[in-house]
């Protein structure tokens, strides 16, 4: 997406992934940001944290010129993700190029984050964003808890030369947060003074006389620098997966349509010859309507009426499969996987049994879900009440969705 096509951007993030990782050792496995943690590479893990954050509108990655193929191989497209830009000779220059790429969009705030910190939490992202204010840089940091030594190495041994007081010492992390136009100006100021070696952006803010405010960082937000860090990150990732509660959501839907004089009913996408038809604004497929609502319920995104208002002439006589397909699209846009759908049709007539398998196949096709994850059941209302008198058909539906995090 080109910047001018993007909606108004409040919060953007620049992810710096242009480093060569010289401290990783002389391995042939490539730069550290493309090495894997679990099933994804480090950079993709980092990007997922920001892509899935509802507070972030735009993600700008800065990559090394030599890594474009790796980037295209390992990074998934996402609607928030701008085209990557190439970095410069130093981290500072890479960030500056990333900020320049946002200049057309001019976000209100910007976070600047190291690609090598894949365990940034949603809470840390929101804490940093919340703390941003004019003339203030926001820096997540953790207090130094270990005793700090100064040491010097000779040919064979490293010798302690001093013990440094750890009072008031903090370890700086990212994402660091800024008002976009202020950090942009600070970078311009540093470059105009031939300063190109700052290792973080809060220091560039300091150089421009901005104040730097600390927010609490997290121990998990480690920077992967060495091969040992990568092993540690893989262990941490495994543990996170074991401990993580899966994000499983269930939605239900209910619909009822009146039976009027006609020649056939359409139920779950299948036309069944009958001496009546279902009355309604679209094709009145009460089964697909209930299922659409169940999916929307699972993702908390309104109901069929709010997406397809019955007052809108566009939906007059419309085939209901498009409502269901749209709900599936909304689920997938939220990284949801539809794991199960269950429909119960309640009517005295027509008989559903002979059409059940065709209905399952129809739903499977519309939703692009395996047929063994779809259930269609039917019951009568034992001649009780309006449904029992055959005045209409009611449907209840349940959908289960797993949101990938
Ligand atoms: Mg309906």
Give 26-39 pLDDT, tens digit per residue.
Answer: 455 678 899 988 88
pLDDT at position 3: 44
Q: What is the C-alpha separation between 237 and 133, in angstroms, rounded?
A: 34
Domain 3-243 sits in CATH 3.90.550.10: yes
pLDDT digits (tens, 9 = 90+) for 271-287: 999 999 999 978 999 99
pLDDT of residue 266: 97
Res 26: pLDDT: 47
**pLDDT of amino acid 1:** 43
Q: In angstroms, what is the span from residue 369 Cα to ligand 1's centroid?
A: 22
Please give the distance, rounded to the nearest whole angstrom, from the Cα atom of residue 289 to the centre of ligand 1. 5
The Cα 81–Cα 68 span in angstroms is 15
Distance between CA atoms of 39 and 300, rounded to whole angstroms?
A: 29
Terminal-residue alpha carbon distance, the chain: 24
Cα distances (angstroms) measured from residue 314 to each of 237, 289, 317, 318, 326 = 48, 16, 9, 8, 15
Residue 344 has pLDDT above 80, yes or no: yes
Of residues 289 and 5, the one with the higher pLDDT is 289
- Residue 287 C-alpha to ligand 1 middle, in angstroms? 8
Q: How far is the CA of 326 from the centre of ligand 1 (A)?
A: 15
Centre of ligand 1 to C-alpha 373, Å, is 23
Distance 383 CA to ligand 1 centre (A): 22
Q: How far apart are CA 343 and CA 148, in angstroms?
A: 64
Question: Is the pLDDT score of 331 beyond 50?
Answer: yes
Å from CA of 300 to ligand 1 middle: 19
Picking from 306, 292, 303, 270, the residue whose alpha carbon sits closest to that of residue 338 is 292
How many Å lie between the centroid of ligand 1 and the Cα of residue 266?
A: 12
Strand partners, 401: 249, 338
User: Residue 8 corresponds to which tokens in the numbers above?
Assistant: 């108004």
Sequence ranges of the domains in the chain: 3-243, 247-403
**Ligand 1 center–CA 316 separation, angstroms:** 12
pLDDT, tens digit, 9 for 90 and up, residues 177-187: 999 999 999 99
User: Judging by DSSP bridges, how do beta strands 148-153 and 158-164 pair with one another?
Assistant: antiparallel
Residue 400 has pLDDT above 80, yes or no: yes
CA of 370 to the centre of ligand 1 (A): 25
Q: Are 135 and 112 in contact (CB under 8 A)?
A: no
Query: Among candidates 297, 101, 62, which has minimal Cα distance to 184?
Result: 101
What is the distance in A from the centroid of ligand 1 to the CA of 262?
18
Predicted confidence (pLDDT) at residue 318 exceeds the cutoff of 90: no
Over range 62-89, report the average pLDDT: 93
- Per-residue pLDDT tens over the stretch 238-264: 887 777 777 899 999 999 999 999 999
- Quote the ligand 1 centre to 286 CA distance (angstroms): 5
User: Distance from the CA of 314 to the center of ligand 1, in angstroms?
Assistant: 15
* CB 268, CB 287: distance < 8 Å: yes
Q: How far, in Å, is the centroid of ligand 1 from the Cα of 397?
A: 12
115 neighbors 61 (Cβ within 8 angstroms): yes
**3-state secondary structure string, 105-163?**
CCCCEEEEEECCCCCCCHHHHHHHHHHCECCEEEEEEEECCCCEEEEEECCCCEEEEEE
Residue-level pLDDT at 21: 65
In the predicted structure, residue 15 carries a pLDDT above the cut 70:
yes
Q: How far apart are CA 69 and CA 104, in angstroms?
A: 26
Q: How far is the CA of 204 from the centre of ligand 1 (A)?
A: 59
Strand-pair partners of 312: none
Examine the pLDDT at 80 and tell me if it is beyond 80. yes
The Å distance, Cα 278 to ligand 1 centre, comes to 10
CA of 374 to the centre of ligand 1 (A): 20
Which of 55-75 are b and which e, b meaning 16 or more Cβ less than 10 Å from the residue's Cβ? Answer: bbbbbbbbbbeebeebbeebb
CA of 345 to the centre of ligand 1 (A): 13
| Higher per-residue confidence, 13 vs 78 | 13
Residue 388 predicted with pLDDT over 80: yes
pTM over 0.85? The answer is no
- Identify the CATH assignment for 247-403 out of 3.30.1330.50, 3.40.50.300, 1.25.40.10, 3.20.80.10: 3.30.1330.50
Distance 303 CA to ligand 1 centre (A): 11
Share of the chain above pLDDT 70, in %: 96
- Cα(256) to centroid(ligand 1), Å: 6
Instruction: Please tell me the distance between residue 359's alpha carbon and the centre of ligand 1 in angstroms.
Output: 17
**Residues near 32 by Cβ (< 8 Å), separated by ≥ 6?**
19, 21, 24, 42, 116, 224, 225, 230
- The pLDDT mean for the chain works out to 92
- Give 363's pLDDT tier (boundaries 50, 70, 90): very high
**Alpha-carbon dihedral sign for residues 102, 17, 112, 209:** negative
The count of C-alpha atoms lying within 13 angstroms of the C-alpha of 50, restricted to the half-sphere facing its C-beta, is 32
Q: Ligand 1 centre and the CA of 247: distance in Å? A: 29
* Cα of 320 from ligand 1 centre, angstroms: 9
Question: What per-residue confidence (pLDDT) applies to 72?
Answer: 93
For residue 323, report the distance from its CA to the centre of ligand 1, in Å. Answer: 11
Distance 212 CA to ligand 1 centre (A): 56
User: What mean pLDDT do residues 296-311 have?
Assistant: 93
**What is the pLDDT at residue 313?**
84
Q: Is the pLDDT of residue 2 over 70?
A: no
- The pLDDT tens digits of the residues spanning 111-142 come to 999 999 999 998 999 999 999 999 999 999 99
Report the pLDDT averaged over residues 89-94: 94
CA of 254 from ligand 1 middle (Å) equals 9
Rounded Cα–Cα distance for residues 284 and 304 (Å): 12
Mean pLDDT across 11-22:
89
Residue 191 pLDDT exceeds 90: yes
Least confident interval from 24-28, 36-40, 311-315: 24-28
Closest CA to 347 of 300, 386, 397: 386
Q: pLDDT at position 218, please?
A: 95
CA distance 309 to 288: 16
Radius of gyration of the chain (CA): 28
Residue 54 confidence (pLDDT)? 81
d(CA 132, CA 178): 6
Are the C-beta atoms of residues 31 and 67 closer than 8 Å to each other? yes
CA 69/CA 78 separation, integer angstroms: 17
Ligand 1 centroid distance, CA of 196 (Å): 63
Q: Look at residues 83, 79, 96, 98 and name the one whose alpha carbon lies nearest to residue 15.
A: 98
């Amino acid at each position: 997406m080109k910047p001018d096509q993007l909606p108004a951007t409040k919060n953007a993030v620049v992810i710096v992934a242009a480093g060569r990782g010289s401290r990783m050792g002389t391995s042939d496995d490539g730069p550290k940001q493309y090495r894997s943690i679990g099933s994804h590479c480090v950079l993709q893990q980092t990007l997922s944290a920001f892509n899935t954050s509802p507070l972030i509108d735009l993600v700008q990655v800065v990559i090394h010129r030599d890594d474009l193929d790796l980037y295209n191989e390992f990074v998934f497209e996402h609607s928030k993700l701008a085209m990557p830009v190439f970095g410069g000779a130093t981290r500072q220059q890479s960030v500056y190029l990333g900020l320049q790429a946002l200049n057309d969009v001019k976000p209100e705030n910007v976070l600047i984050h190291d690609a090598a910190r894949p365990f940034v939490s949603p809470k840390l992202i929101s804490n940093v964003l919340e703390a941003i204010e004019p003339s203030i840089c926001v820096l997540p940091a953790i207090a130094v808890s270990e005793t700090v030594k100064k040491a010097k190495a000779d040919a064979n041994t490293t010798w302690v030369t001093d013990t440094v007081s750890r009072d008031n010492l903090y370890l700086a992390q990212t994402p660091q947060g800024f008002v976009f136009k202020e950090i942009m100006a600070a970078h311009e100021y540093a470059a105009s003074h031939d300063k190109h070696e700052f290792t973080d952006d809060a220091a560039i803010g300091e150089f421009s006389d901005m104040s730097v405010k600390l927010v609490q960082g997290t121990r998990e937000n480690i920077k992967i620098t060495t091969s040992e860090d990568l092993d540690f990150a893989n262990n941490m990732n495994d543990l996170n997966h074991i401990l993580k509660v899966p994000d499983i959501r269930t939605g239900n839907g209910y619909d009822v349509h009146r039976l009027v004089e006609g020649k056939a009913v359409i139920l779950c996408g299948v036309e069944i010859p009958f001496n009546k038809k279902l009355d309604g604004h679209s094709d009145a497929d009460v089964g697909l309507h209930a299922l659409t609502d169940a999916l929307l319920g699972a993702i908390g995104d309104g109901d069929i009426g709010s997406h397809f208002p019955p007052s809108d002439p566009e939906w007059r006589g419309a085939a209901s499969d498009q409502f269901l397909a749209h709900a599936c699209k909304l689920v997938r846009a939220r990284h949801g996987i539809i794991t199960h759908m269950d429909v119960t049709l309640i009517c005295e007539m027509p008989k559903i049994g002979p059409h059940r398998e065709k209905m399952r196949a129809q739903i499977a096709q519309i939703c692009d879900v395996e047929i063994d994850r779809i259930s269609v059941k039917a019951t009568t209302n034992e001649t009780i009440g309006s449904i029992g008198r055959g005045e209409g058909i009611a449907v209840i539906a349940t959908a289960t969705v797993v949101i990938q995090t």
